[in-house]
């Protein structure tokens, strides 16, 4: 697996979804690192729940339709 560099941009404001059929989320901002991984704060569109999610996962998730 490739390692993310510090220069990978956080796609703030982008609406993405978990996998091809998962719920939609909006990327809010970069969060602090966790277990050596860069994290970003996201909000689930449907519920308003906020959580930190790995940036490498965000970058591989597809944009919502």
Residues 21-64: tens digit of each pLDDT: 999 999 999 999 999 999 999 999 999 999 999 999 999 999 99
Residue 40, beta-bridge partner list: 30, 53
Domain count, the chain: 1
Q: Which domain holds residue 52?
A: 15-60
Q: Is residue 1 part of a domain?
A: no
CA distance 40 to 43: 10
Please state, in angstroms and rounded to a whole number, the distance separating the CA atoms of residues 3 and 28. Answer: 22
Strand order, beta sheet including 37-44: 15-17, 24-34, 37-44, 50-54
Q: How far, in Å, CA of 11 to CA of 60, rounded?
A: 11
* 28 within domain boundaries: yes
The pLDDT score that the predictor gives to residue 30 is: 96
Please indicate, yes or no, if residue 5 is contained in any of the structural domains.
Answer: no
Question: What is the Cα–Cα distance from 21 to 38, expressed in whole angstroms?
Answer: 25
């Amino acid at each position: 697996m490739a390692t993310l560099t510090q220069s990978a941009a956080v796609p703030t404001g982008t609406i993405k979804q978990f996998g091809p059929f998962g719920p939609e989320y909006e990327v809010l901002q970069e969060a602090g690192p966790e277990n050596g991984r860069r994290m970003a704060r996201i909000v689930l569109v449907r519920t308003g729940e906020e959580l930190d999610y790995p940036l490498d996962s965000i970058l591989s998730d597809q944009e919502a339709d």
